Amino acid sequence: MSTEVRDEVDIDEIELLTNVDFPQAINIDDWIPCQGQIFDSDDDAYNFYSSFAQRSGFSIRRHHVYRNTTDEGNPQTVYKREFVCHRSGVSKSVKVNELESQRKRKTSRCSCSARLVVAKETIGSEEKWVVIYFNNVHNHDLLDEKEVQFLPAYRNIPVVDQNRILMMYKAGCSINVTMRLLELKKGIDVGSLPFMDKDIRNFLQNQSGIDKQNDALDVLKLCKGLKELDDAFQYDYTIDENKKLEHIIWAFGDSIRAYESFGDVVVFDTTYRINRYDMPLGIWLGVDNHGNSVFFGCVLLRNEKISSFTWALKNFLAFVKGKNPQTILTDQDPSLKEAIANEFPNTKHAFCIWHILAKLPSWFSFVLGARYNDFKSEFFKVYHLDCEDDFEQYWKSMVAQFGLSNDIHIKLLYSLRQRWALAYLKDFFFAGMTTTGRSESINSYIKHFLDAKTSLTDFITRVGVAVQIRNQAGEEARMRQKYHNHLLKTSFPMEEHVASILTPYAFGLIQIEIELSTKYAATETNSGSFIVKHHTKDDGGRLVTWIEGQESIRCSCKEFEFSGILCRHAIRVLLMKNYFHIPSKYLPFRWRRESSLIPKSSHIVNNNDVSSAEFHSLIQCIEYESLKTKERKQIATKGLEDLIREIKGMSESHEDQIGLEVVPNNDECDVGIPVRTRSKGRPKGSKAKVVVEVVSNNDECDVGNPVRTKSKGRPKRSRPKGGVEAATKIRHCHIPNCGATGHDTRNCPNKRKHNDILPNESPNEFKKGWRNSSN
């Protein structure tokens, strides 16, 4: 009688496989495991089951090993192996004394019982491995073919690619450029590599031009070709009196569809110039329900005049079918400010505080000297005030304290206070985007793809690549909300309810508020309202108004109006009223799981802009209404299944695939060489005026390359400097709402504050531009 020894192999110790070679003894067509199936080795059985798992939407790991200890010749002979679903078992409990020293990793294990067991048997004169047990019943959702590629088991870096990555790393290539080069080398689509950028980072850590003569013509042909392939793609341009390309604007179909869902808050950033003509680049972007930045459109302008910005805004509004954003964030450019006021009269226009903070040292360091750091601290306190009366009072006190009543910059900031101070912005929805941290990160991201000599054609092509990569990030986020279990921190049913409705990103934000609500006390007033205070404070607090018949709640901190996330003060009142669910109206659709992007343009052929918009609106309406109750979902699912069967039975027409290739030049046009001119003002003694001519998309002949643009204002080296600025080159921290000197993003004090959130009355967690609230 043999003694059975069972060893458990941890998932971190297994060899991750992607390209599986089937054994010759097995019919490849019959790829579903079955009891009695024979393999030459246990590795062949593992590879076969791994391939089946990948096709089915899950991954596997080696689990128990059974050894025969009575075999004197080889006491460790393995006679049985067990392979299980990657979600089998339960997460290991962490000791209390290890909580501070270990990261809190998310777990995906849910006691799934799916498994395959093989045992060694002698068949004839050979030893074979036979399937003695197979269970394919899962207690979790399986992933589709696009989502399964993000599982760790299938994100393996082949040896050939490892050598290439090391070579490009030595050459100084960034990880993003390395991934793109590997995609081009293999001839696959963007995002189709069997591994991700984080896998390259981990691997490296373990291993310690285009014809200038036809530039403008080529870019117009490229846009025309993209328009023919995808009717949702939009572009427009202008030429000047010399028939030189002046402005060009474009938006991909995916970007326009993203705007339909998440165009309520828009950042329009024009702070970077990245092509050979030094044209200002304008990027429209927003944030999706997973907290990821999404592109809405791009524009290249000749200059930064009012007429140029007006043209860009008008065309962008036409691209998105006249849908105005609720709020828009920009820098303090006066020309852009006037253009937005004219074109978006019903949109709240705010300034990015990041740009203001970046200017504080040059404005006040020389004037205040050693008192500058104290001034900056006071400025932050005033900026974060919620009440307009408090802002006015503390602003006057700060100005008097530092003797700045006659300072021109202080007067300018005060005159613009309604566009940057939070006290004047809390009534408007900003989705947490009160700074251009997202826009700055995207500009930095694009900078890795482009340089000062990038052609217009290559520029648009690479921006399209960036859009697709951002789309992939959204797909990964949607996969993760299925893949990861939520880590609940309280026993409130409210938290569990919210976790089932909101995306993991939005749930993480409101989870902080639910957890911190336990530190507050609510006192009902005679008027039926509530005063909510932190348990350590005797005065102050927030006023929460509650109308029970309407299930309406409003807090004086206005956090819900500002970010779409219900604040801790309102949650405390709901808990006091014995609410187990947050009312539906306070779980905005734009933060819910079902609020996802319309499918990519490569899967859709649009024949008409109007009908396409109506079609997408119907899809969103069906999705929104059907997910309210289980009964609605069942009816909608049955109806859609019948509709899909009917559509599949219809005849199919050829569907063109969308690409980013330049349409061949058929000698249709003759394009001139670009001329370098100034972008603002004119040479002394010259009275010539620039005539802007709008050209239709069907007339591309005789369009020359754009002229090189000079930035507005004084040249960089001609501005007089003094004080601290003259002594040294000031470097600023890029953490949102910081902008301080003396440190960088790696050791910023504000970055480390979130580690001390729970012990005290704590601000909201810093996440992608979310502000720090102290109440």
Closest-CA residue to 176 (of 511, 446, 374, 499):
446
**What string of DSSP letters covers 671-734?**
--------SSS--TT----PPPEEE-TT--TTPBPPPPPPPSSS-GGGS---HHHHHS---B--
Q: Evaluate if residue 468 carries a pLDDT over 80.
A: no
**What string of DSSP letters covers 127-156?**
EEEEEEEEE---SSPPP-TTTGGGSGGG--
Q: How far is Cα 489 from Cα 480, in angstroms, rounded to an integer?
A: 19
More confident residue, 738 or 228: 228
The per-residue pLDDT of the chain, averaged, comes to 76
Residue 666: the pLDDT is 41
Q: What is the rounded end-to-end Cα distance, in angstroms, of the chain?
A: 70
* Structure tokens belonging to residue 523: 């006192």
Closest-CA residue to 613 (of 318, 284, 369, 273):
318
For residue 81, the cross-strand partners are 65, 118
Residue 652: the pLDDT is 54
Closest-CA residue to 509 (of 769, 323, 252, 189):
769
Distance of alpha carbon 37 from the chain centroid: 46
Q: How does residue 212 score in pLDDT terms, banded at 50, 70 and 90? A: low
More confident residue, 292 or 504: 504
Q: How far is Cα 446 from Cα 448, in angstroms, rounded to an integer?
A: 5
Residue with tokens 């991954």: 59
The amino acid sitting at 81 is R
Q: How does residue 604 score in pLDDT terms, banded at 50, 70 and 90? A: very low
Using the CB atoms, write b or e for 359-392: b if 16+ within 10 Å: ebbbbbbebbeeebeebbebbbebbbbbeeeebb
Q: Judge whether 769 and 291 are in contact, CB under 8 Å.
A: no
Q: How far is Cα 591 from Cα 292, in angstroms, rounded to an integer?
A: 12
Closest-CA residue to 163 (of 200, 215, 118, 214):
200
480's CB contacts (< 8 A; 6+ apart) are: 150, 504
Q: Please give the average per-residue pLDDT across 489-498, as a whole number.
A: 91
For residue 328, the cross-strand partners are 266, 349
3-state SS, residue 449: coil
Residue-wise pLDDT for 503-512, tens only, equals 988 999 999 9
β-pairing, 77-85 vs 60-68, is antiparallel
More confident residue, 310 or 198: 310
Q: Evaluate if residue 317 carries a pLDDT over 90.
A: yes
β-pairing, 245-251 vs 293-300, is antiparallel
**91 vs 104, 111, 480, CA distance in Å?**
12, 9, 17
Closest-CA residue to 147 (of 483, 490, 514, 572):
483
Angle at 704 between CA 700 and CA 710, to 5 degrees: 130
Q: How far is Cα 747 from Cα 727, in angstroms, rounded to an integer?
A: 24
402's CB contacts (< 8 A; 6+ apart) are: 368, 371, 374, 375, 378
* Structure tokens belonging to residue 739: 């902008």
Residue 31: the pLDDT is 75
Q: How does residue 338 score in pLDDT terms, banded at 50, 70 and 90? A: very high
Residue-wise pLDDT for 345-370, tens only, equals 999 999 988 788 888 999 998 889 89
Residue-wise pLDDT for 692-726, tens only, equals 334 444 445 567 777 776 655 545 444 444 333 43
Q: Judge whether 246 and 253 are in contact, CB under 8 Å.
A: no
Distance of alpha carbon 710 from the chain centroid: 33
Residue 78, class by beta-carbon neighbours within 10 Å (0-12 exposed, 13-18 middle, 19+ buried)?
Answer: middle
The amino acid sitting at 347 is T
Residue 745: the pLDDT is 65
Q: How does residue 106 score in pLDDT terms, banded at 50, 70 and 90? A: confident
Residue 681: the pLDDT is 42
Q: Please give the average per-residue pLDDT across 297-314, as a whole number.
A: 92
Q: Judge whether 542 and 494 are in contact, CB under 8 Å.
A: no
3-state SS, residue 546: strand
Residue-wise pLDDT for 424-466, tens only, equals 999 999 988 876 455 566 556 556 555 545 567 767 776 777 7
* Structure tokens belonging to residue 144: 């589709």
Residue-wise pLDDT for 377-401, tens only, equals 999 899 988 889 999 999 999 999 9
**673 vs 14, 213, 448, 662, 670, CA distance in Å?**
59, 5, 27, 19, 10
Residue 739: the pLDDT is 65
Q: Please give the average per-residue pLDDT across 401-422, as a whole number.
A: 93
Q: How far is Cα 557 from Cα 570, in angstroms, rounded to an integer?
A: 10
Q: Judge whether 543 and 531 are in contact, CB under 8 Å.
A: yes
Find the length of the chain. Answer: 775
Distance of alpha carbon 139 from the chain centroid: 30
**What string of DSSP letters covers 46-87?**
HHHHHHHHHHHT--EEEEEEEEETT-SS-TTEEEEEEEEETT
Residue 617: the pLDDT is 58
Using the CB atoms, write b or e for 741-771: b if 16+ within 10 Å: bebeeeebebbeebeebeeebbbbebebbbb
**192 vs 153, 405, 660, CA distance in Å?**
15, 59, 16
Residue 448: the pLDDT is 52
Phi, psi of 456 (to 5 degrees): -65, -40
Q: Evaluate if residue 278 carries a pLDDT over 70.
A: yes
Most distant CA atoms of the chain, gap in Å: 107
Q: How does residue 208 score in pLDDT terms, banded at 50, 70 and 90? A: low
β-pairing, 327-330 vs 265-273, is parallel
3-state SS, residue 250: strand
Q: In what order do the strands lie in the sheet with 126-135?
A: 4-8, 60-68, 77-85, 115-123, 126-135, 38-39
Residue-wise pLDDT for 217-276, tens only, equals 888 888 888 888 888 889 999 988 888 889 999 998 888 988 988 999 998 887 777 656
Residue with tokens 């024979």: 38
Closest-CA residue to 300 (of 322, 278, 329):
278
Phi, psi of 471 (to 5 degrees): -65, -40
Q: Evaluate if residue 5 carries a pLDDT over 50.
A: no
Ranges of H-type helices in 416-532: 437-447, 456-483, 493-499, 504-516
Residue 376: the pLDDT is 92
* Structure tokens belonging to residue 115: 């498994």
Q: Please give the average per-residue pLDDT across 281-286, as a whole number.
A: 86
